[in-house]
A and B are shown apart, each in its own frame.
Chain A
């Protein structure tokens, strides 16, 4: 299947200092849909790219945007949503931050820069879990409570993977454990309590799920 018209994914690739990365290879593939072909593009001197995903997806598919520059590979994900005029997917190198509770810790990918102003993106819908790595993005990083939306994807959904992570987070919440978040561009260095988690499948697949974690500010770390 494919879309009946064009749909553009666009964004920038930055290095750890927030500088543009030119010449990175971008490969877009469909994770949950039936299309097996890919689209490729190269970031320009500004680090900008745009790519039409018309031929490789349907609306609602989860797609993978892989950025490769030198020895660095970054996987980002987004659900195709035609209600948006275009969709933004940015990538930065070395962008993990620590999500640590009293009994668990997880590495998430820090929120992407929205644009060259280096402000954190607030409107990208997807947080990602790709095998054993986690991507994250932010829907209200300056607000209280802090809401993390995570999309999780695995080959086989077992307790040790998606369900296991979800159960662990429920346990942390029920036990009132503290969650420390550090390393998001200095934007958040605080301790939180999990107030709510929700867990639901992504359309058209049994291998990808969304997880929302609502955190209440407790104290500065």
Chain B
């Protein structure tokens, strides 16, 4: 599954439509903006003038993510803030009453849904707010996979502090969900490395969502053997933690 970052230079494309053969030399991103170095041959609008230079354009950062259509899957919300219906609108064939999208919230817990607030395919449930980098659980009843696209008009800060909640939510059994929001698949990280980064205590658990086999790969700090120390080989990996004390996790910097 790929999580590609595609820069769409909307303003740039608009400029280029009447200018055939524009060549982009270099781009640099700064938060939500992008600078583009380019050259363009003479055009009918600028006779016998070759020019090169640097221009600033408004950029929309787009992400594509493949999800399964036949069961539960998880992904990180990298679109702008919205609601669960905005999430649902991005999913094809989201139309069955038992299908749902859900966001993890630390505001409530019940034994059936835990802290997942669900919005169903028949528009029932709770159309809760969804914020950038929230973890989305999706459950579909069709077959195969599909690719969903998210776009952010603002920059995404991958390095951040995540508060893993145990005591703050009445009844929470210690579960929390979060993600690395960038590609760490080539960094040689294992689940135990994530456990170290979080600072888990002995017996606490961090699980990585393997979106190839669609299962959680769990690491029990101080107990699991190396046989269960899986390499994290996907982009935008999702993590589930089960803790018994509140933890502040400084999610590592992206490469």
Contacts and interface: CB of A to CB of B under 8 A. Distances in A.
Contacts, number: 53
B163 interface: no
B216 A54 contact: yes
A85 B203 contact: yes
B207 to A, nearest CB: 5
A10 interface: yes
Contact of B218 (A8, A45, A46): A8
B116 interface: yes
B215 interface: yes
A48 B224 CA distance: 8
Given A85-B204, A86-B205, A6 B240 contact: yes
Nearest to A39: B215
A144 interface: no
A206 interface: no
A54 B218 CA distance: 12
Contact of A10 (B207, B220, B242, B244): B220
A5 B114 contact: yes
A86 to B, nearest CB: 6
A52 interface: yes
A205 B215 CA distance: 29
A83 B116 contact: no
A82 B173 contact: yes
B213 to A, nearest CB: 11
B227 interface: yes
Interface string A1-30: 000111010100000000000000000000
A4 B110 CA distance: 11
B216 A6 contact: yes
Contacts of A50: 218, 220, 224, 228
Contact of A4 (B116, B223, B224, B243): B116
A34 B173 CA distance: 23
29 contacts: A5-B114, A5-B216, A5-B240, A5-B242, A6-B205, A6-B207, A6-B216, A6-B240, A8-B218, A46-B225, A48-B225, A48-B227, A50-B224, A50-B228, A52-B207, A52-B216, A52-B218, A54-B216, A59-B111, A82-B173, A85-B174, A85-B203, A85-B204, A85-B220, A85-B242, A85-B244, A86-B203, A86-B205, A86-B220
